Amino acid sequence: MNETSLFDDYGPMVGFDEMYAGPVSGPAVRDEYGAIHEAFRSMGDDEIRVRADALASSYLDQGVTFGVAGEERPFPLDIVPRVIEAADWRHVDLGVQQRVKALEAFLADVYGPGELFNDGVVPRETVVTSPHYHRVVAGLEPANGVRVHVAGVDLIRDGEGNFRVLEDNVRVPSGVSYVMTNRRALSGALPEVFADHRIRPVQQYSRNLLAGLRAASPAGVSDPTVVVLTPGVYNSAYFEHTLLARTMGVELVEPRDLVCQGGRVLMRTTRGLEPVHVIYRRIDDDFIDPAQFRPDSMLGVPGLVTAARAGNVTIANAIGNGVADDKLLYTYVPDLIRYYLSEEPILRNVDTWRMGEAEQREEVLDRLDELVLKPVDGSGGKGIVIGPAASPAELDELRAKIHADPRAWIAQPVISLSTVPTLVEQGIRPRHVDLRPFAVNTGDDVHVLPGGLTRVALPEGELIVNSSRGGGSKDTWVLADPLVDPDPLDEVAIEEPEVSRRDKTRKDKPRSGVAQLQSQAQGAQTQTQGAQTQGAPTIDGQVV
Amino acid sequence: MLSRIAESLFWIGRYLERADDTARILDVELQVLVEDPMVDEEHSCRQLLKVMGVEELPSVVNRWTVLDLLAHNPDSYSSIASTVDAARENARGARETLSTDMWAAINTMWRGLPSARAMRSTDMFAWVRNRTAMIAGIADSTMTRDEGWQFFVLGRSIERVDMTARLLSTASLAGETQLAWPTTLRACGAYEAFIRAYRGVEADSLAAEFLLLDRWFPRSVVSALVEAEKALSTLEAGGQRSGFSDEGLRLLGRARTELEYRPLAEIVYDLPTEMERLQRSCAAASEAVTSRYFSLAESRVWSEGVTL
């Protein structure tokens, strides 16, 4: 049997391939992929296929699914992992933290004093014309100042391999459950490959999320009841909702389980009505409270906004956040970072033209067939027109739409997303990927989960990787930096159960990699000491 | 625990037990039809469908219509297919409260149903019995003994009483055949236990007694009633000095004592009628549990929710 056949005919590579630094024929495998490449080559084709099949059927039995048009579909997990080396990750981690902090400041300003308008950073009109701007929550001060409890920032790697921000998701970013299930499934499928790497774990996410949600509890509630609010079993991300509730150990409620009385939110239990303090909601703003938004919404809980306004319940993420992931606002984020944080953006945006501005519009309309046009309030790849792939008729239609409502569109150059080897019918082939890292903001810190969801476009050449378009996923490995990261296995194992206290210890932790290594060495001598110092998750971001 | 989740667990218990028992009942019926040439197929099948609560009977009734209506047809509420579907749907809605293993076991059974339906009938029934036993075992060893567990056991036990009552009716309605009781005992996995308990004496009334009243045999009506009562009293916080304030508990207790303290001859004299009474008690108990613990989940009053 020819052991190398699955990798034969790999290519042609367009743009940046994350495994191969050069032609496949040459010895051009990037360092971080060396062991994986070797493992796959020595495993042999049949073995790879057998393991991939086992992976798929384990997902079916566990019901790891994604809903598409009301139908449950398995969420494909590719057997080839994606690897991000420590230094690259440090950059991403810091960049995401920075972005989340800037967006928090922006939202506080928009729903508060509105200083950015007076200082001319963003036109007031740009914000208030966003369909996601909700005047109803203006002046509503969240308990610990956090509006973005969870963020998912979509990144891509451009032709040079630089990470760039494609969009921000600070409403109800989804996908983190697959980060956790992918890891567990792949470690079962490729145990020996895992053993050759030091991969930073991801299972601590639920604990961080719960810590973030508890930190956001209304004033005066010492032991808050946290719930996850789902629209129900027919929602596309229902699997995720169940996983988050289960791993946090909290109730997963549907709107019909909740009732608002006297400005409080209660849930219906076998022992009567019981109070709820923090709602991690996975329902969009428009549907969450029929008393405030769409009166026809059967998904909502009437009175929720009133309860939040009364300070009796925290809704996470906050209502009205959508104004920060409006794609038009995206074009201003670098300015927001400079304005609020007095820092230069760490992660660059993709170059973007605003169709609302006449000069930029003219330029774009001339080059419509070379660019990607996106509706500013679309999600899931809906409405996107890729110029080079569009017919003249489609471009004419697009042109008319832009003229009719210029604010509704932005344009970006076609970026060749980076590729990662992926097992498809023909063998292992380059497929385009993006990356959605997840961040939790506790108010004191922004924790970025190492890695995130790598979505892969399974059809050849396809650039849209969304799950609703039949995309797959990859387990994403962030390699531990031996100088900085504590042993990745210890990170999860020794965390203290008491969440809020652990957050306090975190601030006292040593600030440099060397100091941490020393403290680890000391910690090894006494049990209790070890638990305290090693218990703090990695601080690689702060070392730089 | 959320009322909705409690209700789902109750019904997961009921549906899984129903799938299991339906497979057992069909197994008896088909064996009798195959092995005893004297049985009137049409009559026996009609009786069975009636006992199983199928209201509208097709013009022609034979073993194939029985198999369709009680095993394969997803549109027939009494079929194994729709029962497994319903169990899985409830499990999906309560997924975060089930143990991962239990969810996977239920989901795997649901996924495997199409291929099981392609098997020979007896193999399919064995498959259903094995799968439900596996789920019960996994539930037993992985579910924490909280309220959810009590509702699960309660649902399973009430359903077992109800279905065993139907099974007994089927056996007694089968009429002259010599095979009905031994086959029924076998379907319950009780044949050897019965033979040992009665030292080889085989008599119809004794078989009925065993399946109704034996306190040691887990599938007997009395055992299942005791289980259900235990679950309900655990759910009832505090406990009562006298009497029973819980309607469900009262109904189940009365059903059990009526079986235990009446002469057996009186019960088996008109077994089908007695069994129908038992089923009505089950339905009433189920309703009492619903209105006490789950009714909050049903009401959805919009105006009440809006605070000004």
The minimal CB distance from A251 to the residues B2, B89, B92 is found for B2
In the block, which residue shows the tokens 């993420």?
A317
Nearest CA in chain A to B7: A270
The 3-class SS string of chain B reads: CEHHHHHHHHHHHHHHHHHHHHHHHHHHHHHHHHHCCCCCHHHHHHHHHHHCCCCCCCCCCCHHHHHHHHHHCCCCCCCHHHHHHHHHHHHHHCCCCCCHHHHHHHHHHHHHHHHHHCCCHHHHHHHHHHHHHHHHHHHHHHCCCCHHHHHHHHHHHHHHHHHHHHHHHHHHHCCCCCCHHHHHHHHCCCHHHHHHHCCCCCCHHHHHHHHHHCCCCCCCHHHHHHHHHHHHHHHCCCCCCCCCCCHHHHHHHHHHHHHHCCCHHHHHHCHHHHHHHHHHHHHHHHHHHHHHHHHHHHCCCHHHHCCC
Distances (CA, A) of A366 to A14, A55, A360: 26, 48, 10
The residue among A454 and B176 whose pLDDT is bigger is A454
Identify all chain B residues contacting A60, using CB atoms and an 8 Å cutoff: 111
What tokens appear for A247 in the block? Answer: 């791993």
pLDDT of residue A81: 96
CA distance A429 to chain B (A): 31
CA distance A311 to chain B (A): 14
CB contact under 8 A, A253 and B1: no
Identify all chain A residues contacting B93, using CB atoms and an 8 Å cutoff: 232-233
> Which H/E stretch holds residue A168?
strand A163-169
In the block, which residue shows the tokens 């991403």?
A92
CB contact under 8 A, B307 and A307: yes
CB contact under 8 A, A256 and B97: no
The residue among B49 and B203 whose pLDDT is bigger is B49
The residue among B80 and A415 whose pLDDT is bigger is B80
pLDDT of residue A497: 36
Distances (CA, A) of A512 to A208, A283, A400: 22, 41, 56
Q: What is the DSSP string of A256-283?
A: GGEEEETTEEEEEETTEEEE--EEEE-S
B5 touches chain A (CB under 8 A): yes
Identify all chain A residues contacting B2, using CB atoms and an 8 Å cutoff: 251, 253, 257, 267-270
Average pLDDT for residues B141-157, to the nearest whole number?
94
Q: CA-to-CA distance for A313 and A307, rounded, in angstroms?
A: 6
Say if residues A420 and A82 touch (Cβ distance below 8 Å): yes
CB atoms within 10 A of CB A362: 9
Highest mean pLDDT (candidates A196-200, B12-16, B91-95):
B12-16
CB contact under 8 A, A270 and B1: yes
**What residue ranges of chain A have pLDDT lower than 70?**
1-5, 23-27, 69-70, 378-381, 463-470, 483-544
Name A260's Cβ contacts closer than 8 Å, sequence gap at least 6.
A266, A301, A302, A303, A304, A306, A307, B305, B306, B307
Give the mean pLDDT of chain B: 87
Say if residues B290 and A262 touch (Cβ distance below 8 Å): no
CB contact under 8 A, B307 and A256: no
pLDDT of residue A510: 39
From B122, B308, B204, B291, select the one nearest A263 (Cα to Cα). Answer: B308
Q: Which of B7, B88, B95, B99 to mutate to test the interface with A (most CBs of A within 10 A)?
A: B95
Quick one: pLDDT band at residue B4, thresholds 50, 70, 90? very high
Q: CA-to-CA distance for A465 and A456, rounded, in angstroms?
A: 5
A311 touches chain B (CB under 8 A): no
Identify all chain A residues contacting B100, using CB atoms and an 8 Å cutoff: 62, 246
The minimal CB distance from B96 to the residues A61, A246, A291 is found for A246
Amino acid at the residue A476: T
In the block, which residue shows the tokens 């309860």?
A307
Amino acid at the residue B143: M
Q: Is the pLDDT of residue B308 over 70?
A: no
Q: Are strands A409-413 and A427-436 parallel, antiparallel or unpaired?
A: unpaired
Chain segment B18-33, per-residue pLDDT in tens:
999 999 999 888 888 8
* B residues 286..305 contacting A (CB < 8 A): 293-294, 296-297, 300-302, 304-305
Rounded to the nearest 10 degrees, what angle do helices B121-142 and B100-117 cross at?
180
Amino acid at the residue B152: F
A262 touches chain B (CB under 8 A): yes
Q: What is the DSSP string of A177-235?
A: HHHHHHHHHHHHH-HHHHHTS-B---TTHHHHHHHHHHHTPPTT-SSPPEEEE---TTS
CB contact under 8 A, A257 and B3: yes
For A45, the 3-state DSSP assignment is: helix
pLDDT of residue B177: 67
For A522, the 3-state DSSP assignment is: helix
From A272, A321, A340, select the one nearest A119 (Cα to Cα). Answer: A340
Say if residues A218 and A143 touch (Cβ distance below 8 Å): yes
Nearest CA in chain A to B90: A233
**Taken in order A509, A513, A515, A518, is the CA torsion positive or negative?**
positive
CB contact under 8 A, A260 and B305: yes
pLDDT of residue B176: 64
Q: CA-to-CA distance for A23 and A14, rounded, in angstroms?
A: 11
Question: Rg for chain B (alpha carbons), in Å?
Answer: 20
What tokens appear for A163 in the block? Answer: 């990470």
Identify all chain B residues contacting A267, using CB atoms and an 8 Å cutoff: 2
Q: CA-to-CA distance for A529 and A523, rounded, in angstroms?
A: 5
Name B171's Cβ contacts closer than 8 Å, sequence gap at least 6.
B28, B180, B181, B183, B184, B207, B208
Nearest CA in chain B to A246: B96
pLDDT of residue B179: 74
